[in-house]
Amino acid sequence: MKYIFKFIAIFVFAFPTLTYADKEKLSGYVALDLRVFTSDAQFNNQFNGGQSSLILQPEFSSQTVNGTEKFSFIPFARLDNRDDNRSHADLREAYWLRSEEQWNLLVGVNRVFWGVAESNHLVDIINQTDQVDSVNGEEKLGQPMVNITTEQEWGRLSFFVMPLFRERTYPSEEGRLRSDPVVAQEVQYESRDEQRHVDLALRYSHYIGDWDFGVYYFKGTGREPRFTSNNNRLIAQYDQIKQVGIDVQFTSGVWLWKFEGINRLQNNNYFNAMVGGFEYTLYQITNSAADLGLLLEYMHDSRNKISAKAPPVETDDDVFLAARLAMNDTQDSEMLLGVVIDRNDHSKVVSLEIKRRLDNNWKLELESRWFKDTKENTSLSQLKKDSFVALRLARYF
Amino acid sequence: MNIIFKKRKNKIAIITSLVLFLSTSAFAQTEEQKGFNISARSDRSDRGFGDSVVELKMILRNAAGKESTRTLILKTLEVPDENEGDKSIIIFDSPSDISGTAMLSHAKILDADNQWLYLPALKRIKRISSVNKSGPFVGSEFAFEDLTASELNKYKYKFLGVGVCGTLKCDKVERYPQYQYSGYTRQVAWIDRDVHQIRKIEFYERRGDLLKTLNISDYKKYPGNIWRAQNFVMKNHQTGKSTELIYSDYKFKTGLKDNAFQKSDLRSAR
């Protein structure tokens, strides 16, 4: 939180220098979230019924006429009526970017996405997951960094220096979709530098014909914690890791073939994980404008199930099946229905997402998740009473 | 064409059936050659534009006349080789929920284009299938191919005749898509005889029926003898829906280079 104010101060100070910029833009959204749980809570002190949130994310950007310099400033805030940890603020972006023909330099807070798969963002490692914001793992906390990138004929090479670690967010004791016991506020680090350990990453990416690919090396504080138990609280323990990752997509006609893999060293223990599959699209089904995408992905993770070595993981031997319907209408209506099935214990997570623009500025989204057939004493069983339906009404500006 | 044929008949006393056969087939070839030549003159009239940047407004109207609007920026880099397609980036400005969404295309002539989509909410660049030529572009009456398939060698041609287009005289050229996955069996392009620009295109769908008509107007001449239309209206005859594109002034030779049309540049495109 403290560093957020520091950055705001820097940006307020830096604003006068923006007067030479000609392309300034203020955009963003304000949204109302309503999330209703279909069952009463499993654990003590959790609320029953629904929770509502107010979300504000203004986006300010400014660019010089020739495009060589750019500022971006995107603060984010959520105010939740049931879960104090879910009420939080973050700087999603606050950076200065200098672009030359073959080089660019970025200093500040940014979000960086790596990967190709839909069910599991396995190789994506730069940003910490904003777990309280969304259980789908796609909301990320802004990461402070210095990032130098070069674009050459032979591809793109990007180097990241990350001087400040962001801790994962977790629900409070009153909140739903949490573990039991609850995750404590205090955390432990393997490194003596704790949150100030300087993490490094180097990524190369390119495409040749129908192949798009990237490889990277990351050395620093692992983004997923493992947990130790203390005083009926779970303490998040952040280890030092070394990880290589690869992501590949082969685009062939209506088929997109995808693969992501990692190899990680954590606590003197190596393990591998992968996700791979395809997306097959039927365009203009039944002579309408709508497209139907069919997705199949397989996830595997070889990590030791002993939590003293590596964080526990759900996606160790799982299959993801999904259908995506894009109506291609003026409202950009879209629906995604998917299920992740654990091949060992046959537990399932079913998800449904529907989006539709109401007019030029309003958008309505529905998200629903059901946790089915969970087995006792698995981490997923902690969510067995947390199936929910969420509605979001957003006003973009 | 007919005049030449008659002269030849008068000058040559003996007409064998072989000669007749040859001249008829030569005649047929000429119709195709003529169609190609008219299209080539039109297509090549803007050669050397280098690069261009233009803002445009897209107005979608349903059969009842209800409107919805999008604004976008289109950047194009000319690739001089006629066997290669141009490179382009489309960046959406509104509706505001898709603001910053960008699509990069590296057009090919007969092979599938390379296309990437940038989704700003996730900061994700995704390679997408370019097979979907005939699908609607952002819910409009324009298909992807209507916007991207203007390259000369994407079609075979046939001259149909002469017609009147507004106050001008036009050559009517039928063109047949040669690239895969087109939604059309044929198109009829009306190219004026004055400045050689396309004024109208009729699109015939797979069953052979007239599907859409595109009217192109408000041509403006830019330095270097480059013509650009400022207004496109696509009318779908089967649904009653229409889409209008209104272009602002073009900027040419803005100094855009090839490296601004690479996939990673989608993140900072605006």
Q: Which residues of A touch B127 (CB under 8 A)?
A: 207, 212, 249, 251, 256
Count CB pairs under 8 A between chains A and B: 97
Distance CA A78, CA A57 (A): 9
Of these ranges, A287-291, A383-387, B119-123, the one predicted with the greatest mean pLDDT is A383-387
Q: Has residue B39 got a pLDDT over 60?
A: yes
A227-271 residue pLDDT tens: 998 888 999 999 999 999 999 999 998 999 999 999 999 999 999
State the average pLDDT for chain B.
Answer: 86
Between A149, A253, A329, which is nearest B131 by CB?
A253
Domain ranges for chain A: 2-396
Contact B264 A156 (CB under 8 A): yes
Q: Is the peptide bond before B95 cis (omega within 30 degrees of 0)?
A: yes
Q: Which residues of B touch A288 (CB under 8 A)?
A: none
- Number of domains chain B is built from: 1
Distance CA B141, CA B213 (A): 10
CA distances from B222 to B45, B49, B80, B199, B257 (A): 12, 10, 19, 18, 21
Between A102, A281, A330, which is nearest B60 by CB?
A330
Distance CA B45, CA A60 (A): 42
* More confident position, B201 or B21: B201
Confidence of residue B19 (pLDDT cuts 50, 70, 90): very low
Q: Which residues of B touch A71 (CB under 8 A)?
A: none
Identify the CA nearest to B253 among candidates B74, B91, B77. Answer: B77
The residue type of A137 is: G
Between B129, B139, B270, which is nearest A329 by CB?
B139
pTM of the prediction? 0.89
* CATH classification at residue B196: 2.50.20.10
Query: Where would I find the H helices in chain A?
Result: 2-14
Residue B210 and residue B204 in contact, taking contact as beta carbons nearer than 8 Å: yes
Contact A396 B129 (CB under 8 A): no
Q: What is the pLDDT, as a whole number, of residue B110?
A: 80
Phi-psi region at A137: left, alpha or beta (left = phi > 0; alpha = psi -120 to 50): left
Hey, CA dihedral for B120, B121, B123, B126, is it positive or negative? negative
Confidence of residue A343 (pLDDT cuts 50, 70, 90): very high
Between A27, A116, A255, which is nearest B96 by CB?
A27
Phi-psi region at A232: left, alpha or beta (left = phi > 0; alpha = psi -120 to 50): left
Between A251, A329, A357, which is nearest B127 by CB?
A251
Contact A330 B139 (CB under 8 A): yes
Give domain status of residue B135, yes or no.
Answer: yes
Identify the CA nearest to A69 among candidates A4, A21, A24. Answer: A21
Helix (H) or strand (E) holding B32: helix B17-44
* More confident position, A17 or B86: B86
**Candidates 2.40.160.10, 3.30.70.890, 2.40.30.40, 3.40.50.300; correct CATH number of A2-396?**
2.40.160.10
Between B95, B97, B135, which is nearest A284 by CB?
B135
Contact A29 B134 (CB under 8 A): no
Give the residues across from A389 on adjacent strands.
A36, A368
Q: Which of A154, A251, A288 to mutate to test the interface with B (most CBs of B within 10 A)?
A: A251
Distance CA B178, CA B175 (A): 9
* More confident position, B132 or B178: B178
* More confident position, A6 or B176: B176
Domain range for residue B145?
A: 44-267
- Please provide the DSSP assignment of A4-68 as one string: HHHHHHHHHHHGGGGGG-SEEEEEEEEEEEEEEESS--SSTT---SEEEEEEEEEEEEEE-TTSS
Give domain status of residue B63, yes or no.
Answer: yes
Distance CA A318, CA A332 (A): 31
Q: How far is B220 from chain A (nearest CA, A)?
A: 26
Closest chain A residue to B143, measured at CA: A289
Q: Which residues of A touch B135 (CB under 8 A)?
A: 283-284, 289, 291, 328
Give domain status of residue B15, yes or no.
Answer: no
Identify the CA nearest to A188 among candidates A125, A234, A144, A139. Answer: A234
Contacts of A50 (CB under 8 A, 6+ apart): A34, A35, A36, A37
Contact B127 A249 (CB under 8 A): yes
Q: What is the pLDDT, as a whole number, of residue A9?
A: 56
Q: Which residues of A touch B94 (CB under 8 A)?
A: 360
Q: Has residue B43 got a pLDDT over 90?
A: no
A54 phi/psi in degrees, rounded to 5: -115, 130
Q: What is the largest CA-CA distance in chain B?
A: 78
Contact B97 A29 (CB under 8 A): yes
- Structure token digits, residue A270: 């190596």
Q: Which residues of B touch A55 (CB under 8 A)?
A: none
Phi-psi region at A267: left, alpha or beta (left = phi > 0; alpha = psi -120 to 50): left
Confidence of residue B270 (pLDDT cuts 50, 70, 90): low
For chain B, the residues whose C-beta falls within 8 A of a C-beta of chain A are: 60, 62, 68-69, 94-100, 112, 114, 122-129, 131-132, 134-136, 138-139, 257, 259, 262-265, 268, 270
Contacts of B158 (CB under 8 A, 6+ apart): B31, B32, B35, B173, B174, B175, B176
Q: What is the pLDDT, as a whole number, of residue B18?
A: 44
Contact B263 A207 (CB under 8 A): yes
Q: Which residues of A touch B126 (CB under 8 A)?
A: 116
Percentage of residues of chain A with pLDDT beyond 70: 93
Q: ipTM, 2 decimals?
A: 0.90
